[in-house]
Amino acid sequence: CSPEIRESILSRISIMRRRCDLILNQERIDLISMTLEDAIEAHPRLLQCADVVVDWFATEKYHTRGLASARAARQKLIKPGGLIIS
């Protein structure tokens, strides 16, 4: 492949590795393995903790109390004036 394509691929790999390093850093990321509704109840610090929430799939798929409840829970994450991207 051409040098330009190779550099582009290496750049993308570097970005993905940095993202993985961030996600796996337990000092910066708290992985909570439960539905969003349950997580908000168990961890009230999540309330209004986010400026932006990106949710491409989870709310629609992983809910235990109905879709409306999951969407309401997702809304509780947002700070006033925040944004949900879904």
* Model pLDDT for residues 13-59, shown as the tens digit of each residue: 999 999 999 888 888 888 888 888 999 999 999 999 999 998 888 88
Taking the C-alpha atoms of residue 75 and residue 58, their distance in angstroms, rounded to an integer, is 13
**What is the sign of the dihedral through the CA atoms of 56, 21, 34 and 76?**
negative
Its pTM stands at 0.66
More confident residue, 16 or 60: 16
Secondary structure E strands in the chain: 50-54, 78-85
- What pLDDT sits at residue 60? 81
